[in-house]
Structure formats: C-alpha cells, structure tokens
Amino acid sequence: MVSWLWLLQVSFLRIEQVACYDYAYSFTAKELKAYKQEVKELFYFGFDSYLEHGYPFDEVRPISCVPKKRNFEDLNDHVTNDILGNFTITLIDSLTTIAVLQDMPRFREAVRLVERTFPNGEFDVDSTVQVFETSIRVLGSLLSSHLYATDRTKAVYLGHEYDGSLLRLAQNMADRLLPAYLTYTGLPVPRINVKWKFNFPGFTDSLVTENNVAAMSCPMFEFTILSYLTGDSKYEKVTRYAFDKIWSLRTDLDLLPMSFHPEKLTPYTSMTGIGASIDSFFEYALKGAVLFDDAELMNVWNVAYESLKTNCRNDWLFANVLADTGQIFVPWIDSLSAFFPGLQVLAGDLDDAIAKHLLFLKIWNTFGGIPERWNFSPTEISPPLSPTEPLSVTLKAILPLEWYPLRPEFFESTYFLYRATKDPFYLNVGVHLLRDLKQRFKSKCGFAGFQNVITGELQDRMETFVLSETLKYLYLLFDEGNELHKSGSDVVFSTEAHPMWLPQEVRSKYKRDAKFSDSTYSSHLKTCYKRDRELQAKESTLSQRIVGFARSVFSQQPEEELANLTRNNKTNFEAPGLCPIMPRPRSDHDTWYSPLLSKYSRLFEIDSRYNATLIKPSHMQHYRAIELEPAFYSRWSNPQFSTCQIEPTTEIFELLFDLPGVHEQNPSIADNGTITYGAFGSRSRLKIEKLQIYQSDYYGDLVTASTFQDISRRDTYSHMCDTTADLYSSVFLYRVVAVNGRIVPRHGTVQIEKHNFMHVSTDIEEQGTLIIGGIGVNDQAQLMLECTPILNLLLI
C-alpha cells in the first residue's frame, strides 16, 4: 500500500511539473511556487549534506564529502582561519534561511542542535578569527534567529519553547570579540583569539596590523542590535565610535582609503571604490540609518554616495580610484561590488541600479559566474593584450582573480530590483540562476563554485554564505507571499542576509533603560574622545581646494584600440548598431511586457562596449544569454518597442570642476528634463560630448546641420574669443550628457546659478569675472570651453 501511495505521489509531482513547465516563463503563481520549491529542496540538500558529512566542524566539502576544518597547525593561514573558528559556523549561519522558509519544525530542530552543540552557552574555543566575519556570520545570525523565535507575528515563533539561548550565545560571542577595540585609537584590530584574546602561543603582529574599512566600521550594526536587545549600551557605543572614527579619516573628496593600520591610522592603500574591503561601510551607513532611525548615519550615507557618484561612477560601473585625487587606480571591478545595485534600490536610485546590475548580468552570461576580479579596460592591462595571444593567456589577463565561490551579491541585487520594479526580467534571471545551481554547481554533498571560471574547474568548498545568502535571496525572489514581503514590514537585511527588525517596545525600552556599566570600556572611550579633542585643537583648518577644471581623471579608450582587440568571440551581433533581437509574432492577448526587455534601448550596449574583455571561455561557448532565453523573450518582449539604440560615434570626455562651496546633492529636475543646481561647489564631474555633423550622438540620434545654427562664440566677460567668433565657423560643439554620473535626459538642460562661477566686484555688484580660466559665457548664457559653447549648460 505504501509503495502505491509513493508511486501516486511521484506521478502527481511529475504531472504538476509538466503542467508548470508547459507555461514556463509566464510566472504565474503556480510556476513561481514550483521554482520556490526547487530552491527549498536545494537548500535542504546542502544543509542536510553538511549535517551528515560536515557537522560539528564548520563546513562540508561538496565534492569529497568530508569536513572542511580550520588549519590548526598554521595560525597564519588567514584564508581558512579568518572564517572557520571551529564553532559549527554553517549550522549557525543557516538558521535564518530556515526561518525565511517558514519551516517551524526544522527551525526548532536547528535551534535545539545549536543548544546541544554549546551546552554551556559559551564559545569557549581556542581559535583566532576575524572579528568582522565572525560578527556578520555568527553574531548576526544568532540575533536574527532570536528575533524570529520571539516574534509572535513570525511563522517560526517558538513561544515558551524558547528561553533566549541564542541571544545569550550572541552576547557571549560579542564579549569575546569586543576586546579587539581596546586599542590606542579605538579602532579594532582585525583578529582576536576567541578564548585567549591576544595571550596565546604563536601570536604575531601580522595577525593584527592591516585592517580594512568594512571590518573596522561595520560590526557597529550587529553590536548595536545586541545593545537594543540586552539593554547594555557598551556594544553600541564602542563600535559606533569606531564607525565614526573611520568616517573622520576620509579625504577632502569624502572618499575613504580601503584599509588602515588600526593603531597608527596610516592607510595601506589609497585606493577606494564600492567592492571588497569597503562595501559594507556604505551598506551599513544606509541600513543603520533606516533600522535605528539615525540622522547622522543618513548624513554619512548621503555624503559618501554623492562622492561616489562624483568620483567613481561611470555609465555601467563604479571604478576603483585614488581616494585623494579621484583618479582611476586599477582597471578592474570585483564580484562583491555586485551588491551595490541592491543598495541603490534602498536609496531610491532605481535607474542607476538597473544599469549597474545589467553589467553583472553580462559578466554572468560570459563567464558563468561573477569572477573575483574582472578587467574592464584592455588598454590598462600590463602587458597590453594582443589579438595573437592564445585565448587562455588573454583570459588570465582579463581575470586576475579567476574564481567564483557562489557569492550571493548578484542574486541579492536581482532580488531587490524585482521587489522594486516587479519586472519579470528579474524573474527570468532567477530562473537561469536556479538552473545553473542545479546543473553546473550541485555536487555530491553540496554546491561547488568555480575554482577557475576560465577552465570550468570546480572548487571543493561550500562557504556558509551559499546557504545563508545565495539560496535565501533566490528563494525570496520567487516567494511573493513571504511574511517579509507583507505591507508595513520594517525588515532590513544584514550584509550576511540576516533579516533584522526592532519592535517598537524594544526601541522604547532601550531608549529609556539602557545602561553602560562596564568601566573598562567606558574609561577607554573617554580616553579616546579626549585624545581626539586634543588632536583636533592642534590641527590647522583644512586648506581650500584648488579652483579650476581639468580633463577627466578617467582615461578614455579610443574606439579603434578596442576594435583591434575584439576577438573572434561568438556573439549575437550581426553588424554595428543592430540588436540581437529575435523575431516574434505579435499576439492579441499580449497586454503587458517586460519594461527592461522592451523599452531599455541600451540593453545590449555593454556587449559591444566591453566586447574586448567579455570573452567567453571554451566551456561557456554554448551558454545562451539570459535576456535572450527564447521562451522568455517570446512571451515578454514587445515587438513594437524592442529596438536598440545606435552606438555613438561622437568623442566623449570628462571635465572635473573644483569650486568653492558645497555641491547640491539633489538638484531640482523639471518635467522637460531641465536639471537646476543652486549650489555647484566642491568637486563635480561632467561628461562632455563633442558633437560633429553626421555623427551618431550619445542618445542614438544623428547630429544634423540644424544643431550648428545660431551659435554664439563671443565671450560676454572677456575679449579672448572675439577673433575666433569673427573668423571661424563652428565645426564642433559640446554638450553635457552626465553630471556626477547622473545622466542628462535627451534634450535636457543643465542650469547652474551664476554665482557658482563668478567673483562679484565689491564696488559695482553687477560686474564680475569668471573664476576659472579657459571658461567663458556667451550671450545665450551658455558656458563655453575654449570658445566653444556647451549647448545645454547654462548659467542663470
């Protein structure tokens, strides 16, 4: 009888799957439920494999099916030991994914297993670990799981079955990590021994010297939540001091070098960007502002993001630049920066989030994952690429770090963009990611990412974030009805994807009753604040910025150089300017389309612009571009609007302005595309297009003779351009197409109040002089560069 029931169940499941896939990419509730179930099964496959083959150690090796342990013999094996503290980290880090699955029996079972693993409620383990990684993976998961277990509104609420054990464990871990902050500067050292602090055999200075910005500043988030839940404010005060101290080390451009010596405050590198070593600083500035209702953190985010837009943002990526000059430093981006579009969604910068996410989609199409580093500029690679080199040599130059351990950042941004847009484009991405996990990365005892995306070799390791983040975000993408998506949900995801929220009664109690009774840390903070005041009194006022303008610090890549480097890389392009659009019949029942697939005219611009470094390895040659999946495309593209923008043939360069005063972060934007800046001080970066007749411009339009009619080249403030205006007609003109990374709309105008560029005479107020040499203004109020008007840049 049992066997017949089993056969009936299997038959029914097969029928349901067939029915579902007959309507693949319709994304009905039934289809999404099937995808959601597949992700759930993948998670439990990985989790149960860990319990069977890895527990009680930290990880399981997915190919060899044995535990992945910390290196007990070599304390300097940071790659292994920073994360693997011999405290069952996969079990702990996976708790919140089970909670998100709303699986009460398995959540209860997992919590009980944690309690049995640590029967004394302590992490009494002789392990030297990284403070940051332990904070986000262990402390973060314990806190989030405690919130789930004690919240009556959640499906895994444990009620009287739970006595607060996870919170006590979290506090015990925090007390073991917090001594890392007892330094001369108040900034934490990168590592600490969980049992012995710094008093243990084999301790060397190399364990506690260089520390990056994310690691020093970001435990503030988890530690502050711990303060709210325990009423002990020392965790918040100590770690918040470090966060604020880090922010005080920014350069005049409001950019932070990526790493410092925590005692000497000397930077180890002057590079900055949005990726590894600094990513979570931006994340926790914004998320901390939201969760803690903190205006100071919101100001940090606003200032930091404005500086990133000014100095790092290009059309499709945020570059790594020098923190003190804004000049591009290295021509690569890393896989961790794929999280940033999701953060931009939270910040409300949806248009740019869509563009930045698209680049990582193209990288996935090319390499089958997001390599740890990808060179986007072939002209910056040393030695330069040559079309005659073997493909493997070329790919090694393009991918200086060639592994992909199934990091979650691309999954994360895909999820947040779908929640913000509800565009099925992102569900289609999720379906392909799910398929890749099943077909390419699922191994005997877990999920193995790429050791080498060039060769397709898999890595015999499954880091905890695969179960904690990668599969969690993929599940939530398909789970429309998840309790986290209910109206009014005030949940913020930690950098390890642990859902965090603070009930109002917890907030009120903390504000009313919080205590800071630990004299060791209170005395330490008093000393740090006193030293800061003394140092500040000795410092002179900041020097004024140099007033002027310069050509962009971003190197430009001549199109002919890129063309010479384009290889015989299989591509869907038939000719320049044509899209890889597949024909489809128009159906009467088509009522709604994917906006990104149908109306985003730059959908395939990346394929062309970065063709020289988006080169498929041999094992990816038959991988179909996700956005061109036939079943998805035929259902969701609009044949009336699915067209591509013609590639520009105009020259584009950038200008940097350094002016007195401050820069307006949110200029007013009129319906007609006019952007008005009341304040245009500090540093600003303008992308300028050089227009010549019969060229294709930045917006895909043809430059015609009408553009050159009624041009005035006479400077109203000097006679410098008089001869040029009298003797020569314009053969080229300028136009602004972006300001600080903000794209100027087609036919849009940028207006700047005149006082930003003028010195006014004290005798006759109406008279004035331009404060920048080489810049002029004509009688149509257009700013001129070397006697040539910038058509849509007006002084008002």
Q: Catalytic residues, which ones?
A: 133, 279, 372, 409
Retrieve residue 687's tokens.
């992308």
In angstroms, the CA 645 to CA 611 distance is 17
The DSSP code for 554 is S
Cα–Cα distance measured from residue 519 to residue 47, given in angstroms and rounded to the nearest whole number:
42
Residue 85's Cβ-side half-sphere holds a number of Cα atoms within 13 Å equal to 32
Q: Shortest CA distance to 447 belongs to which of 68, 22, 43, 177? A: 43
The answer to the question of whether 134 is labelled as a binding residue is no
Supply angle C-alpha 662, 663, 665, rounded to 5: 135
- Decide: 347 and 289 in contact? Cβ < 8 Å: no
Residue 392, both tokens: 């493997």
* C-alpha–C-alpha distance, residues 557 and 691, integer Å: 18
Give the integer Cα–Cα distance in Å for 707 and 580: 32
CA distance 197 to 179: 7
Joined together, the tokens standing for residue 431 give 């379906």
* DSSP designation for 502: -
| Backbone φ/ψ region at 692: left (φ over 0), alpha (ψ -120 to 50), beta | beta
Helix (H, G, I), strand (E, B) or coil at 433: helix
In contact, 499 and 491? CB cutoff 8 Å: yes
Question: Which secondary-structure segment (H or E) carries 241?
Answer: helix 234-248
Taking the C-alpha atoms of residue 218 and residue 210, their distance in angstroms, rounded to an integer, is: 16
- Angle, helices 340-347/279-292, rounded to nearest 10 degrees: 30
Task: Say if residues 84 and 92 touch (Cβ distance below 8 Å).
Answer: no
The string of DSSP codes covering 108-174 is HHHHHHHHHHSTTS------EEEHHHHIIIIIHHHHHHHHHHH-TTSTT--GGG--SHHHHHHHHHH
Amino acid at position 745, single letter? P
> In terms of DSSP H, where are the helices of 437-545?
464-465, 471-478, 504-513, 519-538
Distances (CA, A) of 595 to 316, 571, 581, 642: 19, 24, 15, 10
Q: Contact 146/166 with Cβ under 8 angstroms?
A: yes
CB count within 10 Å of CB 650 equals 16
Q: Which amino acid is at 157?
A: Y
Alpha-carbon distance of 8 to 214, in angstroms, equals: 53
Instruction: Report which secondary-structure segment, H or E, holds 753.
Output: none
Distance between CA atoms of residues 286 and 305, nearest Å: 10
The partner residues of 623 in beta bridges, in order of sequence, read none
Residue 33, burial from CB neighbour count under 10 angstroms (0-12, 13-18, 19+): middle
User: Shortest CA distance to 452 belongs to which of 399, 410, 492?
Assistant: 399
DSSP 468: I
Burial zone of 99 (CB within 10 Å; 0-12 exposed, 13-18 middle, 19+ buried): buried
Q: What DSSP letter does each residue of 130-148 carry, written as one string? A: EHHHHIIIIIHHHHHHHHH
Strand partners, 793: 750
Measure the CA–CA gap between 117 and 604, rounded to whole angstroms.
52
From the centroid of its chain, how far is CA 620? 25
The structure tokens 């990133």 sit at: 308
**Binding residue numbers for Ca(2+):** 495
Annotated binding-site members: 495
